Structure 1
């Protein structure tokens, strides 16, 4: 009985963790900033918090996903945008798209 309960709890936790990494599927439909919907560096942090922080941590130091607090030292903006678009490791691609992806990639490339 205890094994079944433990399995149920762990399975449920895993489902919620994986679902959280996907972020808000409706976020791309919402305006990203005060400038007519164009994502800015100022809003990049907010976009990151809504879509990425569940795995990479609110402070970028990791959790379910890797520490990316100094990702700009390893990758340039173009490579970060490619990782966001196509995924890498356990991260699925396309979590953030369009101008929001570009804003987050630019913001992360400054993290050195």
Structure 2
């Protein structure tokens, strides 16, 4: 987790806070020390309350549905999800949002993504 957070911090800057569920990898002393050393405050959802992360849970559902469609399209087993995840995320990030008239990629990076899909 720390390795991936560090990569994100280098790419996008260090956030003021990180909000997470109470997964064991997200409440370790090592992670707490890392975040504190980098000046990052933390907050957590209440136990057994996925609604506390409602927006994230909803988006995870969209990601999983897209992964399932990619698996079906390639006649692959659900256990092979990691082989289609990047493509699924690419598709989601390339979808036009009608309320903003931009894709998630365009909103994040302020330019259109080149794609062969």
Name the TM-score class by shorter chain. Answer: under 0.3
TM-score, normalised via structure 2 length: 0.26
Q: Relative contact order (C-alpha < 8 Å, sep 6+): which is higher?
A: 1
TM-score normalised over the length of structure 1 = 0.26
